[in-house]
Chain A
Amino acid sequence: MIKNTESVFEVDTLKILTDKDIALHKAESGFLNAEAFGETYERVSLTRLVPFMNEEKYISVTYKTEDNEWKEIGVIEDIRKLSEEKQKIVREYLSFKYYIPVITKINKITDNRMGYLFLEAETTAGPKKIAVNDWWHNFRMIQNKMLSVTDADGNRYCVPEVEQLDKASVKKLQLFI
């Protein structure tokens, strides 16, 4: 009976990956390869499990099986616990996958009362004029702290901590959040 259970249900447990458990390197193809528990995985994917709570903690490392299914190799508990080189690789990968420029200053917000909100803002990707449609859904606060913005094309922007913005920007924002 026990044997049967094992063959049918392989109970999935949380595997925390320490620095020793995993080796990561960027392949020529541009993707990330990994070695863990004696296996080599090509084109692994890193996913932030709690992106709104902590960008550096709980990073799931997955790979695609031959059946096109994503399987988890394990979870990196904290990027900072990895070696310098791995930290660099992981951060570079995540900043690419989660390409979300940070809004650093808000110059102007206008609501055209046709469902669109226009933001003229300074971002880490340069000055932007961001058009947000259906802004009730696409311009919202998360956990009363972080502002998440998705523009009409699907690009994402964020303000990690609204209260950290300059006073003038916060004042402009407050009417819309």
Chain B
Amino acid sequence: MNLKLSLPKGVDEQSVVFSLPFDIDRSAKRTDGHLTATKEKLSVYYNGELCEQFLLEDIMEIEVEQLIGCSMLCVKDALGKQKFVCAFSQKHFMRFAELAKIIEHYLKTGIFTETTDADEPACPKCGISLNGSKKCVYCEGDKGVFVKLIKRLAPYKKQFFFSLFATFMLYAFDVINPIFQRILVDDLIVPNNADWALFFKVAACILVMNLSSVGFRLLQENSNYKISTAYGRDLRRDIFNKTQDLSMSNVAKRTAGELINRVSGDAATLQDFMTRQGKDMIFQTVALVALVIIMFVTNWKLALIVVIPLPFAAYLSIKSFNAISIRYSRVWRCQCRASELLHDVLHGVRVVKNYGGEEREIEAYRKASGKWADAVKRADILWYMVQPPIRYVFTIGEFCALFFGGSMILGGQMQLGELIQFTTYVYMLYGPIQWLTSLPRVLAQAKVSAGKVFEVLEEQNDIRDNESAKDIEIEGDIDFQNVFFGYKAYNPVLKDISFSIKKGEMIGIVGHSGVGKSTLINLIMRLYDPTAGVIKIDGMDIKDISQNSLRSQVGVVLQETFLFSGTVLENIRYAKPDASFEEIITAAKIANCHSFITRMPDGYNTIVGERGYSISGGERQRIAIARAILHDPKILILDEATASLDTETEKQIQDALDRLIAGRTTIAIAHRLSTLANADRLIVLDKGKVAEIGTHTELLKNKGVYYNLVMAQRQTAKLKK
């Protein structure tokens, strides 16, 4: 990332290490400002004049704060007083955040980094934000994307060639057919000539052509089908595999809906483009050129009359398409909004009924539906107004050809058969031309889909195994050494976390909501890598353990248990696909779920999940515990496993959990501190740091953060009584 974008007037480039422009002053007015940084100080310039300086030795903390429409850089001095440094629009945000990170690092370590390897936040060519991507989807040339798409055709090149060949042959028959018609009309029908030998020759040729066309059509369809299914299948497979390989932070950048769309929608668009339109592009272009040549050879004067209006008609067609497509995309948006509203209201029908909101919702839907109908009307009116004249301009050449061709026949310069052959070609010419006018739209759609698909396929995984990473048998010792982490590097959630957990220990993690408890366990599972510091398992850096080996030995029970659509048996077996039925029942018994499963209509074959038999939260949780028991993890993580349950169910689950915990390193997060009564030690997090570590009794004696949490909960419990 370039952190020396521009310099204030009169400042020598060598005298500063970093220099960033900013564009907003303290009164929210546009300004031409610069912030320069050296190892000693930050200097603020407004319109080339030095206005303020901050010595780094006086600064304790530096941070970038995002406001609603702009952001600002602030520093904190030794007395904890915050000072405003400068403000800027969001396009400068990432650069100032990176600069703040470098200075923060210097303040902590005394090491001043003069360069940064962070990615450029904006495309250097068009200036549009890259949103974390390496390539600008907008600027990347069509060529690159299309070459990649064509390369993916390599495994099916034989079928592609057959399909193209068959298409050309079929088209050649279409071109040859009018020649036979001309012979029949000019040599046999008009002169009333009973030349049976010629008639049978022509008839035989037409018959052979028709029979062959059946064969070629079969070859074309068969090849198309093979390419289409294989191309789509391979593309979907590759995108899906990639989504499974990517890290949580990679995946979390996009919503599930967006990824689903890329796997199905975009892959289908590309499948269609490559197997139909891609081939058509070659074919229609060749057909157009060939037809024009044939027409000019047949009768250049008539050909000229037909061809002259075509560029004008094509131009009109493209222009009208742009106007119409904007209106139809508005129809699509109105339709989506009406559907969203419908989905919302039907989904929340209980709330609507409870609050008597029926009238309001009827009115809202009436408006949305009316807007949609209005959008359709506007788009259709334009379509029906514009299309007939354009079609007329397109086909005007045909009328002229008939008029002038007819005159030529009457003048004896042309024969009837010749004119029939010629007008057939004219008619055939409109197909490729109309197809080519839609080409920009087809290419744009394919480019958008290809851009999205290749963005996923070529994405670098954030979490990568070290080259020396290996599979290990985990014992269960965990070490955190000065770990820092933030979902955004400039905004740390966990700061300087250090602690050790011994094999078999039961550790409780407590702290206020949002303090970073779940983040901490995400780091143990290596769903994210720390920004700084090291996490060790059995004395080995977590990055040196293969991710597969690590995760196969870490078990998790979360607050919200996800059950896949399928049977109870399949859901428990998910943890160990080769588990025997006996093992599954044993796990279910330990997890206290065997008894309720036996009461279900189809026992272990009962379908659960989104469209299956509905089961309670407690039952779900026990299935999750059975899954974890079957997994037999060396390290067990319980993230608010009993938080959403009533006291009675919690007790049943707690029994199951106690059996699961025995002998394993267990890390439990619980809001209800009573749940952690069995913990050997408690780690208390506060403001992203480890505030206290100790047993329940020790921490109560300390009268620190934990003591306050316990007291607050006791008071609440008393109130409930």
Show the binding face of A for B, using Cβ within 8 Å: 4-5, 7-9, 29-31, 42-43, 67-68, 92, 95-101, 111-116, 125-126, 131, 133, 136, 151-156, 175-176
CA distance A112 to B89 in the complex (A): 25
20 A–B contacts from the bound complex (CB under 8 Å): A4-B719, A8-B719, A29-B83, A30-B26, A96-B67, A96-B70, A97-B68, A97-B69, A98-B68, A100-B69, A111-B329, A115-B448, A116-B138, A152-B131, A153-B90, A153-B91, A153-B122, A154-B90, A154-B129, A175-B327
Q: B24 to chain A: which residues have CB within 8 Å?
A: 96, 99
CA distance A175 to B326 in the complex (A): 7
Interface of A: prevailing SS: loop
Type the 1/0 row for B307-339, where 1 means its CB is closer than 8 Å to any CB of A: 000000000000000000111011001001000
Asked if residues B716 and A29 are in contact (CB atoms below 8 Å), the reply is: no
Asked if residues B82 and A29 are in contact (CB atoms below 8 Å), the reply is: yes
The verdict on B451 contacting chain A, using a C-beta distance below 8 Å, is yes
Asked if residues B444 and A155 are in contact (CB atoms below 8 Å), the reply is: no
Q: B89 to chain A: which residues have CB within 8 Å?
A: 99, 153, 155
Q: A8-B719, A96-B26 are in contact. Are A43 and B82 (CB under 8 A)?
A: yes
B333 to A, closest residue via Cβ: A136
Nearest Cβ in chain A — how far from B689, in angstroms?
11
A175 to B, closest residue via Cβ: B326
CA distance A101 to B89 in the complex (A): 11
The verdict on B447 contacting chain A, using a C-beta distance below 8 Å, is yes
CA distance A29 to B84 in the complex (A): 6
Q: A8-B712, A114-B448, A152-B129 are in contact. Are A96 and B330 (CB under 8 A)?
A: no
Asked if residues B137 and A99 are in contact (CB atoms below 8 Å), the reply is: no
The verdict on B531 contacting chain A, using a C-beta distance below 8 Å, is no
Top 3 nearest A-B pairs (CB, nearest first) are A30-B84, A99-B69, A154-B90
Q: A152 to chain B: which residues have CB within 8 Å?
A: 128-129, 131
Show the binding face of B for A, using Cβ within 8 Å: 24, 26-28, 30, 67-70, 81-84, 87, 89-91, 93, 122, 126, 128-129, 131, 137-138, 325-327, 329-330, 333, 336, 441, 444-445, 447-448, 451, 687, 712, 715-716, 718-719
Q: B90 to chain A: which residues have CB within 8 Å?
A: 151, 153-155
Nearest Cβ in chain A — how far from B552, in angstroms?
37
Q: A113 to chain B: which residues have CB within 8 Å?
A: 325, 441, 444-445, 448
Asked if residues A30 and B83 are in contact (CB atoms below 8 Å), the reply is: yes
Asked if residues A99 and B327 are in contact (CB atoms below 8 Å), the reply is: no
Asked if residues A114 and B451 are in contact (CB atoms below 8 Å), the reply is: yes
Asked if residues A4 and B128 are in contact (CB atoms below 8 Å), the reply is: no
Q: B87 to chain A: which residues have CB within 8 Å?
A: 96, 99
Nearest Cβ in chain B — how far from A143, in angstroms?
12
CA distance A165 to B719 in the complex (A): 57
CA distance A8 to B712 in the complex (A): 7
Asked if residues A133 and B131 are in contact (CB atoms below 8 Å), the reply is: yes
Nearest Cβ in chain A — how far from B207, in angstroms?
48
Q: B327 to chain A: which residues have CB within 8 Å?
A: 175
Nearest Cβ in chain A — how far from B553, in angstroms?
37
Interface centre among A92, A126, A153 (most CB of B within 10 A): A153
Asked if residues A155 and B716 are in contact (CB atoms below 8 Å), the reply is: no
Asked if residues A131 and B128 are in contact (CB atoms below 8 Å), the reply is: yes
Asked if residues A31 and B82 are in contact (CB atoms below 8 Å), the reply is: yes
CA distance A49 to B326 in the complex (A): 36
A29 to B, closest residue via Cβ: B83
Nearest Cβ in chain A — how far from B253, in angstroms?
13
CA distance A89 to B342 in the complex (A): 45
CA distance A112 to B139 in the complex (A): 12
Q: B336 to chain A: which residues have CB within 8 Å?
A: 136
Q: B70 to chain A: which residues have CB within 8 Å?
A: 96, 99, 155
Nearest Cβ in chain B — how far from A105, in angstroms?
18
CA distance A42 to B84 in the complex (A): 13
B688 to A, closest residue via Cβ: A68
CA distance A170 to B445 in the complex (A): 28
Q: A156 to chain B: which residues have CB within 8 Å?
A: 68-69
CA distance A42 to B90 in the complex (A): 26
Asked if residues A8 and B715 are in contact (CB atoms below 8 Å), the reply is: yes
A125 to B, closest residue via Cβ: B30
CA distance A21 to B448 in the complex (A): 57
| Other-chain contact of B138, A92, A111, A114, A136 (Cβ < 8 Å) | A114
Q: B69 to chain A: which residues have CB within 8 Å?
A: 97-101, 155-156
Nearest Cβ in chain A — how far from B105, in angstroms?
22
Asked if residues B719 and A133 are in contact (CB atoms below 8 Å), the reply is: no
Nearest Cβ in chain B — how far from A67, in angstroms?
7
